[in-house]
């Protein structure tokens, strides 16, 4: 081990100081463990490996709550069950529903009476028997009675009763305290907070139902990576065979990581994704975007606030500054003045970095 350190020190002393061109012999390359590999294929026009989270578009998520106070009599669905629009999710026993129905019947009777009074007074006024002021008073009572009836009908609609059920109530005069909770859309039950026997006040959430096609992505992209991005660009999730379009590009940076929030809508392969899932995405950029390469993180060296790679030459290596567009766990996407046919060092970077910095010199 001591002989290895002495050999390494001697080699470092033999390297040129503060030079971009680093001359090395084949023996030195082997001793220092420097290994080269061809520069990976160019990735012009796309950003790969962008971290994203799968979310549900806001207009596809619904919270189903209790319109009136009551006790849960029965639940008919569970988390993960597919449901259709209008499908019954649960039934409640609600005395407040019976009270609202009674109010409707009372308002219906008053509205019918007001209608008959108006018809009578209109005829009496035409015959000159009553004054116009009495007719106007009767007309006002008719309008008030029908406004109260419309209000009662709307309250029952909000409670979950259909127009047909409201009409049947008016004709049959049969009160019921059973309240049906139904799904507002075709979708899937995501959350359930109701169980048989529980009592709830009005406006308490019972279920969350969502339409899971399409799904959306929230992508955190470094600010430097967003140049060339446009709304409508193709967004793919390669690991799950999903594809969509970029719908929005944020205007502000988030926190210390200086990233921008991008949103995308995934229409193809959305069934392969799950809400809340973390994925890696690839985003297409415009044609004039910088040429990009996806290279191993081990090939990058940070010197004086800059990031460089080492390109193999006839005599050894030379350093080349690059811009890191996205840094992943093992690979990073970079751009720079590269032709694409170069060979770069992927191992032994510390020795090349030390030579470039002049470590080991006088």
CATH 2.40.50.100 fits 61-93+180-211, yes or no: yes
Q: How far apart are CA 85 and CA 273, in angstroms?
A: 23
pLDDT confidence tier of residue 43, bands split at 50, 70 and 90: low
Percent of the chain with pLDDT over 70: 90
pLDDT confidence tier of residue 63, bands split at 50, 70 and 90: very high
CB 42 within 8 A of CB 340: yes
Report whether pLDDT(5) > 70: no
Report whether pLDDT(12) > 50: no
Q: Mutual orientation of helices 95-126 and 163-172 as an angle, nearest 10°?
A: 70
pLDDT confidence tier of residue 263, bands split at 50, 70 and 90: very high
Mean pLDDT of 233-245: 93
CATH architecture of the region 2-44+291-357: Beta Barrel (2.40)
Long-range Cβ contact pairs of 7-10 (< 8 A, separation 24 or more): 7/31, 8/32, 8/351, 9/360
Mean pLDDT of 243-261: 86
User: Domain segments of the chain: what residues?
Assistant: 2-44+291-357, 48-56+213-284, 61-93+180-211, 95-176
Would you state the pLDDT for residue 2? 42
52 three-state secondary structure: strand
Q: Does this chain's domain 2-44+291-357 share its CATH topology with 61-93+180-211? A: no
Task: Write down the residue that tokens 């032994």 correspond to.
Answer: 348
pLDDT, tens digit (0-9, with 9 covering 90-100), for 13-38: 344 434 467 888 888 888 888 898 89
Would you state the pLDDT for residue 286? 59
**What is the reported pTM?**
0.64
CB 50 within 8 A of CB 326: yes
pLDDT, tens digit (0-9, with 9 covering 90-100), for 79-110: 999 999 999 999 999 999 999 999 999 999 99
Report whether pLDDT(51) > 70: yes
Q: How far apart are CA 292 and CA 207, in angstroms?
A: 47
* Topology (CATH) of 48-56+213-284: Elongation Factor Tu (Ef-tu); domain 3 (2.40.30)
């Amino acid at each position: 081990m001591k002989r290895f350190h002495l050999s390494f020190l001697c080699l470092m002393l033999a390297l040129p100081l503060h030079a971009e061109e680093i001359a090395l012999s084949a023996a030195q390359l082997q001793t220092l463990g420097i290994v080269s590999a061809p520069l990976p294929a160019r990735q012009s026009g796309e950003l790969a490996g962008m971290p994203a989270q799968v979310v549900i578009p806001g207009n596809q998520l619904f919270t189903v709550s209790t319109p009136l106070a009551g006790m849960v009599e029965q639940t008919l669905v569970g988390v993960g069950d597919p449901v259709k629009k209008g499908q019954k999710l649960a039934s409640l026993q609600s005395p407040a529903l019976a009270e609202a129905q009674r109010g409707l019947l009372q308002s219906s009777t008053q509205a019918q009476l007001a209608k008959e009074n108006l018809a009578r007074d209109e005829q009496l006024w035409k015959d000159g028997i009553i004054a116009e002021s009495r007719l106007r008073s009767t007309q006002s009572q008719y309008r008030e009675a029908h406004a109260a009836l419309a209000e009662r009908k709307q309250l029952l609609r909000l409670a979950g009763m259909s127009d047909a059920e409201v009409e049947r109530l008016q004709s049959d005069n049969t009160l019921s305290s059973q309240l049906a909770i139904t799904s507002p859309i075709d979708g899937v039950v995501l959350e359930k907070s109701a169980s048989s026997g529980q009592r709830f006040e009005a406006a308490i959430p019972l279920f969350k139902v969502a339409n899971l096609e399409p799904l959306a992505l929230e992508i955190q992209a470094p600010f430097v990576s967003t140049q060339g991005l446009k709304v409508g660009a193709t967004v793919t999730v390669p690991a799950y065979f999903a594809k969509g379009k970029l719908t929005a590009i944020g205007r502000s940076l988030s926190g210390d990581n200086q990233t921008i929030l991008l949103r995308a809508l995934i229409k193809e392969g959305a069934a392969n994704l799950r809400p809340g899932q973390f994925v890696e995405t690839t985003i297409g950029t415009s044609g004039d975007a910088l040429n990009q390469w996806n290279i191993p993180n081990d090939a990058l060296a940070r010197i004086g606030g800059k990031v460089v790679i080492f390109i193999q030459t006839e005599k050894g290596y030379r350093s080349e500054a690059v811009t890191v567009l996205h840094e992943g766990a093992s690979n990073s996407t970079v751009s720079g003045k590269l032709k694409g046919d170069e060979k770069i060092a992927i191992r032994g970077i510390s020795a090349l970095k030390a030579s470039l910095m002049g470590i080991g010199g006088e």
